[in-house]
């Protein structure tokens, strides 16, 4: 069975496309990890329920300074999003724990495929790998209108 020169050129072009930096936005083969630490307060258990459009990760209960996490692959379209409901005592808040466009850094993901968060009363803070401090902080999502 022989290949035509046209098929050969097509395969070369496809190979070049898949190996260029511009193609990285289309394919996310890396296994990504999200881990959340309960920093609400001493002796306060944090309940959380995370999900995406396609996956429901169930209800989790996390003691103070303990963590829980999950792993996933970002979709090829770069639209992966996981959101969580965090509840403790008389509080309940939502937060988008992973938004592909906000969190996925094509240049850094090989070195840092972990998204580490502390969950605090005012919101969530992500580990900044440049400072080694949880100083990338976001408030809770606004309540639905």
Structure confidence by residue, pLDDT tens digits, 65-80: 999 999 999 888 889 9
Structure confidence by residue, pLDDT tens digits, 5-44: 665 555 444 444 443 333 444 455 679 999 999 999 999 9
Structure confidence by residue, pLDDT tens digits, 44-63: 999 999 999 999 999 999 99
Enter the tokens of residue 144.
Answer: 């639905």
Pick the CATH number of 28-139 from 3.40.640.10, 2.60.40.10, 3.40.50.720, 3.30.530.20: 2.60.40.10
Contacts with 63 (C-beta within 8 Å, 6 or more apart), sequence order:
38, 45, 46
Mean pLDDT of the chain: 84
Q: Tell me what pLDDT residue 108 has.
A: 67
Q: Tell me what pLDDT residue 20 has.
A: 35
Contacts with 51 (C-beta within 8 Å, 6 or more apart), sequence order:
57, 82, 83, 84
């Amino acid at each position: 069975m022989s290949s035509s020169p046209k098929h050969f050129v097509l395969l070369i072009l496809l190979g070049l496309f898949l190996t260029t930096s511009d193609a990285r936005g289309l394919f996310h083969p890396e296994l990504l990890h999200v881990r959340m630490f309960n920093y609400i307060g001493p002796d306060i258990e944090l309940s959380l329920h995370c999900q995406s459009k396609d996956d429901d990760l169930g209800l989790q209960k996390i003691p103070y300074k303990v963590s829980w996490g999950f792993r996933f692959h970002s979709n090829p379209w770069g639209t992966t999003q996981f959101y969580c409901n965090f509840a403790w005592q008389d509080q309940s808040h939502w937060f988008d724990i992973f938004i592909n466009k906000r969190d996925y850094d094509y240049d850094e993901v090989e070195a840092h495929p972990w998204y580490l968060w502390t969950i605090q009363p005012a919101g969530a803070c992500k580990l900044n790998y440049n400072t080694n401090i949880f100083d990338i902080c976001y408030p809770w999502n606004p309540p639905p209108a």
